[in-house]
Amino acid sequence: MKIAPTRTTLLLTSAAFALLLHAGNPGAGAQHEPEGATSIHYPRLVHADVPFYPPAAWSAHFGGTVDIAVTVENGDVTNADVKRGRVEAATDKVRNDNPTLLDYLSVPSLENMRTWRFVSEGHTTFVVTYSYHIQGTETPSPENPTIVLDLPRTVTVTVRPSKPTVTDDLPKSQFHEA
């Protein structure tokens, strides 16, 4: 029996995510850059909201990648701009060459990015990559995503495809004239 996520479940997931961020990573201070590469300073993240798969993109069965240039000053995100992005269709019903589809991935990514808080240590700029994927076998209803974080460099959110859902929660007056 599957249990649908509740507000409590999502709040507990958010709290656990926040604890993981605050726990730190012993190796987080070490920057491993390829030889000859320009060194980029990645500040230590201390807070972020949990990223989810954008609902419109999930319903339309497409994913993709969004690269965001982020500027952090004294621990706060002061600027976040989409540098590039690519839409990947999970089905033949979605055209990859439709530029407006990228907004369905980039806008939620930017909103999530703006919730991030870092240790206050001056000014830095770097790129964060958000990746969204639909993989696996179709489920009868949406399930919680799998979220993989390599903070603050990458955020990967993967969901399983689900059958379209219909709601009948609207009052009859919404459908019938009086």
Residue 143 neighbours by CB distance under 10 Å = 14
Q: Determine the pLDDT at residue 39.
A: 77
Contacts of 5 by beta carbon, 8 Å cutoff, 6+ apart: 144
Residue 3 has pLDDT above 50, yes or no: no
Distance CA 79, CA 64 (A): 22
Residue 177 has pLDDT above 70, yes or no: no
% of the chain residues with pLDDT over 70: 66
Query: Is 26 or 147 the better-scoring residue by pLDDT?
Result: 147
Q: Are the CB atoms for 113 and 68 separated by under 8 Å? A: yes
Query: Is 114 or 10 the better-scoring residue by pLDDT?
Result: 114
Q: What length is written for the chain?
A: 178
Confidence of residue 136 (pLDDT cuts 50, 70, 90): very high
Distance CA 5, CA 14 (A): 13
Which domains can be identified in the chain, with CATH numbers?
Answer: 40-164 (3.30.2420.10)
Query: Is 100 or 150 the better-scoring residue by pLDDT?
Result: 150
Q: Determine the pLDDT at residue 31.
A: 40
Distance CA 52, CA 67 (A): 16
